[in-house]
RNA sequence: GGCCCCAUCGUCUAAUGGCUAGGACGCGGCCCUUUCAAGGCCGAAAUACGGGUUCGACUCCCGUUGGGGCCA
C-alpha cells in the first residue's frame, strides 16, 4: 500500500506585543527553511487575542520586516482575534464533555495557595477546588457578573512523552501540571488563552510541525493534553534553542537593539541578517558559513540544529554583513544605500514621476526620483562610483555617512594630519606644490586613476618615499587619515575639484609656516 | 521552590566510540601596502568537575556543579 504522504505545514505565530525581534525572526526563518526545503507550506498567524497588549503598529512592524527579510508566507496572515467563534465552539465542546470547568478563584486566593505550596516544598499547581461547581451554578454566577476563568481538567497519573525533533524524548508527569486555564470570561465574553487558541488553530490550519522557541517546551504537554481531549492529531514538535544576550539570559529589550528594524536602520542587509540568524543554532555539514537564502534552503535540516542556546555576537554579524555587502551587485547595493545617503544629508530625493521605464538595473531609481546634491543633479554613475570605492570597506551601510562625506562637502583640514610620519610641514608643502604642478599638466581627458598613479609613482621614485608622496594629497582631498586611495578618489572628484582641494591644503600649510 | 532543557577555545560551531580536538568571528604577530579595507601566512585560546562502561570516551551511563527556560 502507498504510504500516505503528509503535507508539511508549518507556521510562525507571533504575538503583536512588540516589534519583530531577532528571536522571532530566527524562529520564522527556521520554519520558512523547513517548509521550503520540504516543499511544504508556511503560514503566518498573528496571535492577537490579548487586546490589551496587542498593537496594530506591531502587526505592521512584523509584516513589514518579514517582507524585508524575504520570509514570505504562503498563507495568512490569519488573526486570532477574528476567529473567536471557532474557539467558542471547541470551548463549549470541552465544557459539555466535562473536560473543562469554570473557576471562580481570585488571583489573591491563587497566589496564597501557591505560596503555601512552595513553602511546603510541593509542586505549585491549582488545587482543583472549583472542579465540583456545576455548570448551572457557574452560569448563574457569571450572569451575576462574577469573574471566572475556564480550566482544563488535567487527567492524573499519566506521563506525556514528547518526541522532539531537536531535543529528543522529553517526559512530563501530568500530576505536576494542575488544571490550567484555557480561557477567561470578561464582561460575559469568552477570550481564549494562549495554550488553547494555539491548539485549535494548529488543528484548523493542519499544522504538521510546530517549530518554535525552547521557551515553549513546558507548554507542550498542556497542548498535547488538549489535543487528545479534543481528538486532534498531535503534530510533530521541534524546539529551537534560545538566543541569549551577553549575560546568558534570554535575549530581550534590555540587551539593547533586538528589533529587526534597528538592524535595518543601522544598515545591515536582509541577506546578512538571514545568514547570521541561521548560524545561531544551525550549522552546515561542510563548515561553510556564508549562505544566501536560497542556499540555506538547499542545505537546511533540523538534524543540524544545536541543542544548546547561542549567545548573540554582534561582531560576527558585522563580519557577515561585510561579506554580503562585498558580494552584492553594485546596483543593488546603491539602492540599499540611498536611504543612508539621504539621511546623512549628502543627497536629496524628490519623487519625479510615479511611473518609470521597466527595470533598468538600479537606474530606475533615477527615473522615478530627482536626485540632487547641494541643489545640483547628481548622476547615477557618480554615486555608484563613490559607493564602489567603499564597497569592500563597509561593515554596515550607516558607516557611509562617516566614510564618504568628503565627496559631498569640502573636508576639514588639519596641518598635523597632512604631514606623513617621516616628513615635516616644510617638506609636505614642497611636495604638494610639486604635485599640484604635475597634476595641472595632466589633460582633463586623461584624468584617470591610472595616469594619476603613474605620475605619483614616478615622482615617488625621485623622492624615495612613497608615503611622503601619496599621503598628503589624499589627506588634502579627504581630510581623513584613513580612506580609499587618493588616485581613485581624485578620478571621481575630477581635476578641477582635486586641484582646488590641494590648494586649500597648500594655503593652510603656508599660513601655518608663516604665522 | 517544582518541573524541564542545556554544557567543546571569549563567542558561533565541527568531530555521531578510534589521527596532534578542526573551522569561523574576535584578539595578537608578520607579509603585502601611501593610509584604511581586503588578501596571504603564523600564533595564543576549549572538551565544567567526579565517578563508571570500554582495549579506547568530547562522544554512552550515573552523580555534582553551573547556566537557562517555564510555572505567579
Which residue minimizes Cα–C1' distance to B39?
A392
Instruction: Classify A251 as helix, strand or coil.
Output: coil
Which pLDDT value is given to residue A3?
46
Instruction: Tell me the pTM.
Output: 0.89
Q: Which of the following is catalytic: A253, A294, A370, A496?
A: A253
The 10s digit of each residue's pLDDT in A33-59 is: 999 999 999 999 999 988 888 899 999
> A369-373 and A348-351: which strand pairing?
antiparallel
pLDDT for res A363: 59
Domain A415-514 has what CATH class? mainly alpha
pLDDT above 70 covers what percent of chain A?
A: 94
Strands A243-244 and A159-164: unpaired
**Residue where the block lists cell 582635486:** A498
Q: Which nucleotides of B are covered by protein (CB under 7 A)?
A: 1-8, 10-16, 22-26, 33-38, 67-72
pLDDT at A270: 96
CATH architecture, range A83-197: Alpha-Beta Complex (3.90)
- Mean of pLDDT values over A365-389: 81
A484 nearest nt, CA–C1': B36
Which of A39-48, A242-251, A262-271, A462-471 is predicted with the least confidence, judged by mean pLDDT?
A242-251
Estimate in Å the CA A4 to C1' B63 gap, whole number.
46
Query: Given this model, what pLDDT does residue A35 score?
Result: 95
Cell digits of residue A465: 618615499
Predicted ipTM of the assembly: 0.91
pLDDT score of A1 more than 60: no
Residue A361 pLDDT: 56
Q: Residue A341 CA to nucleotide B35 C1', Å?
A: 24
- Cα separation, A466 vs A463, in Å, equals 8
Give me the pLDDT at residue A366, please: 64
Which helix (DSSP H) or strand (DSSP E) does residue A373 occupy? strand A369-373
How many angstroms is C1' of B18 away from CA of A321?
Answer: 40
Interatomic CA–C1' length for residue A299 and nucleotide B20, angstroms:
31
DSSP secondary structure string for all residues of A420-482: -TT--HHHHHHHHHHHHHHHHHS-GGG-SHHHHHHHHHHHHHHHT-HHHHHHHHHHHHH--SS
Longest dimension (CA), chain A: 104
Distance between CA atoms of residues A93 and A291, nearest Å: 48
Q: Which nucleotide is nearest to A313 (CA to C1')?
A: B11
SS3 sequence of A276-343: HHHHCCECCCCCCCCCCHHHHHHHCCHHHECCCCEECCHHHHHHHHHHHHHHCCHHHHHHHHHHHHHH
**What are the boundaries of each domain within chain A?**
83-197, 253-326, 331-407, 415-514
Compute the distance between CA of residue A231 and CA of residue A247 in angstroms, rounded to an integer: 43
Residue A439 has pLDDT above 50, yes or no: yes
Task: Give the CA-to-C1' distance from A123 to B16 in angstroms.
Answer: 37
pLDDT at A2: 42
Helix (H, G, I), strand (E, B) or coil at A152: strand
Q: Catalytic site residue A6?
A: no
Which nucleotide lies closest to A221 by the C1' atom and the CA atom? B4
What digits encode the pLDDT tens for the residues A111-153? 777 777 776 666 677 877 788 888 888 888 888 878 888 999 9
Per residue in A188-220, pLDDT tens? Answer: 778 899 999 999 999 999 999 999 999 999 999
Nucleotide nearest to A114 (CA to C1'): B72
Write out pLDDT tens, residues A491-515: 999 889 999 999 999 898 888 887 6
Q: What is the mean pLDDT of chain A?
A: 88
Collapsing DSSP to helix, strand or coil, A395 comes out as: coil
Considering the domain A253-326 in this protein, what is its CATH number?
1.10.1160.10
Give, in Å, how far the C1' of B58 lies from the CA of A210. Answer: 31
pLDDT digits (tens, 9 = 90+) for A74-106: 997 999 999 989 999 999 999 989 899 888 888
**C-beta separation of A215 from A250 below 8 A:** yes
Nearby residues of A489 by Cβ (< 8 Å), 6 or more positions away: A389, A407, A474, A477, A478, A483
Nucleotide nearest to A246 (CA to C1'): B11
Amino acid at each position: 500500500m502507498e504510504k500516505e504522504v503528509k503535507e508539511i505545514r508549518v507556521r510562525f505565530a507571533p504575538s503583536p506585543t512588540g516589534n519583530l525581534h531577532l528571536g522571532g525572526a530566527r524562529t520564522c526563518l527556521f520554519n520558512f527553511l523547513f517548509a521550503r526545503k520540504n516543499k511544504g507550506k508556511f503560514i503566518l498567524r498573528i496571535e492577537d487575542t490579548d487586546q490589551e497588549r496587542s498593537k496594530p503598529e506591531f502587526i505592521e512592524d512584523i509584516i513589514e520586516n518579514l517582507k524585508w527579510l524575504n520570509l514570505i508566507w504562503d498563507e495568512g496572515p490569519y488573526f486570532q482575534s477574528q476567529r473567536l467563534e471557532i474557539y467558542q465552539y471547541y470551548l463549549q465542546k470541552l465544557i459539555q464533555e466535562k473536560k473543562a470547568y469554570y473557576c471562580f478563584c481570585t488571583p489573591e486566593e491563587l497566589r496564597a495557595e501557591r505560596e503555601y505550596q512552595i513553602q511546603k516544598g510541593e509542586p505549585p499547581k491549582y488545587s482543583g477546588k472549583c472542579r465540583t461547581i456545576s455548570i448551572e451554578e457557574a452560569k448563574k454566577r457569571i450572569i451575576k457578573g462574577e469573574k471566572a476563568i475556564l480550566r482544563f481538567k488535567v487527567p492524573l497519573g499519566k506521563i506525556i512523552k514528547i518526541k522532539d525533533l531537536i531535543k529528543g524524548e522529553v517526559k512530563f508527569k501530568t500530576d505536576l501540571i494542575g488544571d490550567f486555564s484555557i480561557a477567561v470570561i470578561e464582561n460575559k465574553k469568552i477570550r481564549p488563552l494562549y495554550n488553547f487558541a494555539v491548539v485549535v488553530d494548529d488543528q484548523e490550519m493542519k499544522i504538521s510541525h510546530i517549530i518554535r522557541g525552547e521557551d515553549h517546551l513546558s507548554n507542550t504537554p498542556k497542548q498535547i493534553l488538549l489535543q487528545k481531549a479534543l481528538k486532534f492529531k498531535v503534530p510533530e514538535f521541534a524546539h529551537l534553542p534560545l538566543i541569549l544576550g551577553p549575560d546568558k539570559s534570554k535575549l530581550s529589550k534590555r540587551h539593547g537593539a533586538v528589533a529587526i528594524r534597528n538592524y535595518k536602520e543601522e544598515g545591515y542587509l536582509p541577506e546578512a541578517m538571514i545568514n547570521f540568524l541561521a548560524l545561531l543554532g544551525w550549522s552546515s555539514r561542510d563548515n561553510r558559513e556564508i549562505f544566501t537564502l536560497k542556499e540555506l534552503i538547499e542545505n537546511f535540516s533540523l538534524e543540524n540544529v544545536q541543542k544548546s542556546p547561542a549567545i548573540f555576537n554582534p561582531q560576527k554579524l558585522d563580519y557577515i554583513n561585510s561579506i554580503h555587502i562585498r558580494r552584492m551587485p553594485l546596483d543593488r547595493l546603491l539602492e540599499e544605500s540611498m536611504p543612508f545617503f539621504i539621511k546623512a544629508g549628502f543627497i536629496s530625493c524628490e519623487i519625479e514621476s510615479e511611473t518609470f521605464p521597466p527595470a533598468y538595473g538600479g537606474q530606475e531609481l533615477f527615473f522615478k526620483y530627482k536626485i540632487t546634491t547641494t541643489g545640483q543633479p547628481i548622476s547615477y554613475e557618480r554615486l555608484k562610483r563613490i559607493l564602489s570605492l567603499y564597497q569592500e570597506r563597509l561593515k554596515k551601510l550607516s558607516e557611509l555617512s562617516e566614510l564618504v562625506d568628503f565627496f559631498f562637502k569640502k573636508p576639514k583640514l588639519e596641518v598635523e594630519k597632512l604631514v606623513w610620519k617621516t616628513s615635516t610641514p616644510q617638506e609636505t608643502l614642497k611636495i604638494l606644490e610639486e604635485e599640484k604642478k604635475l597634476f595641472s599638466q595632466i589633460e582633463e581627458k586623461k584624468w584617470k586613476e591610472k595616469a594619476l598613479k603613474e605620475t605619483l609613482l614616478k615622482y615617488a621614485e625621485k623622492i624615495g618615499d612613497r608615503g611622503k608622496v601619496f599621503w598628503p594629497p589624499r589627506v588634502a582631498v579627504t581630510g581623513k587619515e584613513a580612506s580609499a586611495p587618493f588616485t581613485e578618489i581624485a578620478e571621481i572628484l575630477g581635476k578641477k575639484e582635486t586641484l582646488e582641494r590641494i590648494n586649500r591644503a597648500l594655503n593652510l600649510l603656508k599660513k601655518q609656516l608663516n604665522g
